[in-house]
């Protein structure tokens, strides 16, 4: 059976989503339909279709009689999303621990072991790729595509904000150690323990982001930080 050709709207959506996620297009940046039509050599219809699809994911904001913009997320909104992400990741790893196959368990253990050199070298790019692969293995092992889709949607919406965390001194080593706890619990078949470690892992990333945000002029961390919200107890 021949491969289906990617449609114009799907191509525009894919490229825009990549640019928003990697920070090429920054929050608040306007989108010009005519510029996109010229760039992708398509009519207005696929451009508008792609924009509507991205708006449904929360990546683009359409303001009537004003324009279309890359969505902004306030510190409070971001904290709320990261809280939900932590809970969903914990639920996913719990399922994965119960359902993981022998082959997946071996792949997870090997992947984590091979990433030690990346953590020790503070290799940001290499560690980010390993991080994606590790979480992808856990998602696959969970056998819950609906939960995985919800997690990936939240990860896409928060990626640009989370991308600076690994650049903080010592953060990669901390992340690697936390991954080690999760992997050990999974391989030991301890579902509740794996979920607890994952909740702590995602929660500490949230705290790191808020600390970074507080150093930027004109921004301040939400009051929720003072009450411990976003950091698992």
pLDDT band at residue 138, thresholds of 50, 70 and 90?
very high
130-139, 158-167, 181-190, 213-222: the lowest-pLDDT one = 213-222
pLDDT at 211: 60
pLDDT at 3: 41
pLDDT at 20: 86
Instruction: Please tell me whether the overall predicted TM-score, pTM, comes out greater than 0.95 for this model.
Output: no
Q: Among 112, 221, 219, which Cα is nearest to 175's? A: 112
Rounded Cα gap, residues 68 and 65, in angstroms:
9
Q: Among 167, 64, 156, 176, which Cα is nearest to 115's? A: 176
Rounded Cα gap, residues 98 and 178, in angstroms:
20
Burial of 184 (0-12, 13-18, 19+ CB in 10 A): middle
Whether residue 228 has pLDDT greater than 60: no
pLDDT at 170: 82
Burial of 138 (0-12, 13-18, 19+ CB in 10 A): buried
Matching residue, tokens 């919406």: 157
**CATH 1.10.10.10 domain extents, the chain:** 8-70
Which CATH code fits 8-70?
1.10.10.10
Rounded Cα gap, residues 164 and 166, in angstroms:
6
Topology annotation, domain 75-227? 1.20.120
**CATH 1.20.120.530 domain extents, the chain:** 75-227
């Amino acid at each position: 059976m021949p491969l289906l050709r990617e449609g114009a709207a799907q191509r525009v959506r894919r490229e825009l989503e990549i640019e928003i996620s990697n920070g090429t297009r920054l929050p608040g940046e306007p989108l010009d339909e005519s510029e996109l039509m010229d760039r992708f050599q398509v009519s207005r219809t696929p451009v508008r279709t792609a924009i509507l699809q991205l708006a449904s994911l929360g990546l683009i904001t359409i303001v009537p009689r004003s324009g279309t913009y890359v969505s902004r997320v306030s510190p409070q909104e971001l904290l709320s999303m990261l809280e939900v992400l932590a809970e969903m990741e914990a639920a996913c790893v719990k399922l994965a621990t119960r359902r993981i196959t022998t082959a997946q368990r071996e792949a997870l253990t090997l992947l984590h072991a091979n990433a030690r050199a990346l953590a020790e070298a503070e290799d940001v790019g290499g560690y980010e790729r390993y991080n994606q692969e590790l979480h992808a293995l856990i998602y696959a092992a969970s056998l819950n595509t609906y939960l995985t889709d919800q997690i990936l949607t939240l990860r896409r919406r928060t990626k640009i904000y989370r991308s600076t965390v690994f650049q903080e001194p010592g953060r990669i080593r901390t992340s690697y150690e936390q991954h080690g706890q999760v992997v050990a619990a999974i391989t030991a078949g301890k579902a509740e323990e794996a979920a607890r470690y994952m909740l702590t892992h995602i929660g500490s990333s949230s705290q790191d982001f808020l600390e970074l945000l507080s150093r930027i002029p004109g921004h301040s961390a939400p009051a929720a930080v003072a009450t411990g919200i976003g950091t698992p107890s």
